[in-house]
């Protein structure tokens, strides 16, 4: 390998089956010196937000993908002039080590690289920006990656809705500063509001990408592949609610997030031992029913990016406290956009908690590859007949959807009845 050679960093596959990802935010800018393992870009796949580090040090020559652009795995996203290995501490000098790094590769031959218009990254950046702003003709517009601006300034511009390409930077070499962005934002805010709405203001179009697209495709595939059956049962969960109150006062459960969902999760793991068909998989390729002797319990989680169903591995092997802690981990990771691919694959059955939205019951759709999902409705106080008398009880409705190819009506009914019985008399949950 020759010193100071140019490399194109290719978008790697950061998860099982990943084909493309969206460039969310560049963490570096053109001309910037970068170190080994420095985060250069944040991407969003169909499963999570991921920060990609660079496997080598050098100087950023060109950003080959714009923020908001969806690119396929294996596409070059950044061009870097690599620093001579001997000059970088901790970097092996052998070419073999570099070629093994994910996302890296030698510079493509000129004939094979896609054509791009020439770009200027030198000290003439100020004049380049000015020409695009004031020229009477219509030059090729800049994209945001060509504008000199620090990552915090780029983030500020994105948060305030300011287009970096519309600004003339007043910093060194035409760099756009924080003050430039704030001034542009103030100008937009102070513009008079039109008396009438334009046609475009009457509707909003949101690109279907990432998690939302993946979930939509998965739900359609599931709905039209697995024959769904849904059954309902209304349960007196007063004893379970009393158990929760008791556990929350015990030192052993201090700081542990306990909820009706926690108890339902444990109840499902216990009931699945008696009806293993609800924890199976229809293998269409081999024409076999695969019964799982472990439970990877999916927890449907609403996030800003759409619905995610990360799963707790080997949930049936965890006691109530361990299960509560594991559920909290996957939920927090999903909401923060930090789920790892392993958490998003391999689920065997799932829970969706619609009760948190005040909903009594629903008909959940199975996650692909699973044979059962339980929807937990809102826990509310209602009149209930107990021992011939009308009393006030804490009541909820459970809805079980199952794949009728794998689970017949009797098996689904038994599983749902067992779960209901455990929640009605929760003594088994602490075993």
Q: Domain residue spans in the chain?
A: 1-111, 125-135+142-187, 211-430
Mean pLDDT of all residues in the chain? Answer: 80
Residues forming beta bridges with residue 350, ordered by sequence position: 298, 373
- Model confidence at 18, in pLDDT bands (50, 70, 90)? low
Structure confidence by residue, pLDDT tens digits, 342-362: 888 899 999 999 999 999 999
Q: How far apart are CA 272 and CA 276, in angstroms?
A: 5
Q: What is the DSSP letter of 140?
A: P
CA distance 162 to 178: 11
| First-last CA distance in the chain | 62
Instruction: Name 24's Cβ contacts closer than 8 Å, sequence gap at least 6.
Output: 41, 42, 43, 44, 49, 67, 68
Rounded CA-CA distance 162/169 in Å is 13
Please give the helix or strand (H or E) that residue 307 lies within, else none: strand 306-308
* Confidence check: pLDDT of 277 > 90: yes
Mean pLDDT over 186-203 rounds to: 57
Report whether pLDDT(177) > 70: yes
Q: What is the pTM of this model?
A: 0.60
**pLDDT, average across residues 212-223:** 77
The whole-number average pLDDT for the span 172-176 is 76
Cα–Cα–Cα angle for 225, 229, 230, nearest 5°? 130
Fold observed for domain 1-111: OB fold (Dihydrolipoamide Acetyltransferase, E2P) (2.40.50)
Q: Between 48 and 120, where is the model more confident?
A: 48
Indicate which residue of 228, 242, 293, 404 is catalytic.
Answer: 404
In order, the DSSP letters of 12-39 are P--STT--EEEEEEES--TT-EE-TT-E
pLDDT band at 269 (very low <50, low <70, confident <90, very high): very high
How far apart, in whole angstroms, are the C-alpha atoms of residue 191 and residue 56? 46
Is a pLDDT exceeding 60 seen at residue 405?
yes
Mean pLDDT of 396-419: 96
Average pLDDT over residues 81-94: 51
Lowest mean pLDDT among 213-222, 270-279, 291-300, 392-401: 213-222
211-430: CATH number:
3.30.559.10
Per residue in 91-144, pLDDT (tens digit) is: 333 333 333 334 444 443 333 333 333 333 333 333 333 333 333 433 344 555
Q: Which of 256, 261, 243 is nearest to 355 (CA)?
A: 261
CB neighbour list of residue 288: distance below 8 Å, 6 or more residues apart: none
Neighbouring CB atoms inside 10 A of 410's CB total: 10
| CATH class, 125-135+142-187 region | few secondary structures
Catalytic (active site) residue 242: no
Left, alpha or beta for 368 (phi > 0: left; psi -120 to 50: alpha)? beta
């Amino acid at each position: 390998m020759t010193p100071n050679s140019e490399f194109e960093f290719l978008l790697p596959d950061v998860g099982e089956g990943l084909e493309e990802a969206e460039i969310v935010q560049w963490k570096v800018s053109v001309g910037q010196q970068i170190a080994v393992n420095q985060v250069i870009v944040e991407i969003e796949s169909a499963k999570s937000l991921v920060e990609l580090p660079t496997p080598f040090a050098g100087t950023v020559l060109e950003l080959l993908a714009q923020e908001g652009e969806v690119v396929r795995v294996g596409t070059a996203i950044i061009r870097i002039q690599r620093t001579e290995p001997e000059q970088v501490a901790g970097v092996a000098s052998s070419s073999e080590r570099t070629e093994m790094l994910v996302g890296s590769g030698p510079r493509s031959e000129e004939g094979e690289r896609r054509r791009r218009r020439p770009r200027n990254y030198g000290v003439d950046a100020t004049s380049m920006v000015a020409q695009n702003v004031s020229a009477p003709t219509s030059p090729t517009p800049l994209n945001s990656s060509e504008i000199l601006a620090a990552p915090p300034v780029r983030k500020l511009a994105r948060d305030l809705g300011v287009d970096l390409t519309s600004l003339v930077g007043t910093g060194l070499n035409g760099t756009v500063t924080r003050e430039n962005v704030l001034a542009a934002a103030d100008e937009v805010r102070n513009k008079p509001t039109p008396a009438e709405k334009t046609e475009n203001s009457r509707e909003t179009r949101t690109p279907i990408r990432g998690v939302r697209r993946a979930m939509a495709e998965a739900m359609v595939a599931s709905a039209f592949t697995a024959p769904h059956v849904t059954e309902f049962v209304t349960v007196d969960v007063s004893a379970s609610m009393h158990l929760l109150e008791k556990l929350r006062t015990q030192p052993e459960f201090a700081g542990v997030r306990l909820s009706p969902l926690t108890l339902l999760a444990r109840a499902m793991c216990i009931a699945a031992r008696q009806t293993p068909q609800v924890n199976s998989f229809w293998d269409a390729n081999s024409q076999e029913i695969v019964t799982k002797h472990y439970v990877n319990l999916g927890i449907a989680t609403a996030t800003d990016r759409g619905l995610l169903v990360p799963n707790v591995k080997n949930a049936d092997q965890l006691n109530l406290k361990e299960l509560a802690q594991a559920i909290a981990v996957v939920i927090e990771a999903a909401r923060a956009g930090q789920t790892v691919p392993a958490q998003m694959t391999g689920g065997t059955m799932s829970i969706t908690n619609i009760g948190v939205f005040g909903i009594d019951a629903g008909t959940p759709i199975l996650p692909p590859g699973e044979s059962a999902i339980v929807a937990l409705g809102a826990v509310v106080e209602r009149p209930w007949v107990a021992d011939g008398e009308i009393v006030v009880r804490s009541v909820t409705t459970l809805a079980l959807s199952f794949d009728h190819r794998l689970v017949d009506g009797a098996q689904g009914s038994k599983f749902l009845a067992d779960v209901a019985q455990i929640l009605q008399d929760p003594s088994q949950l602490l075993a």
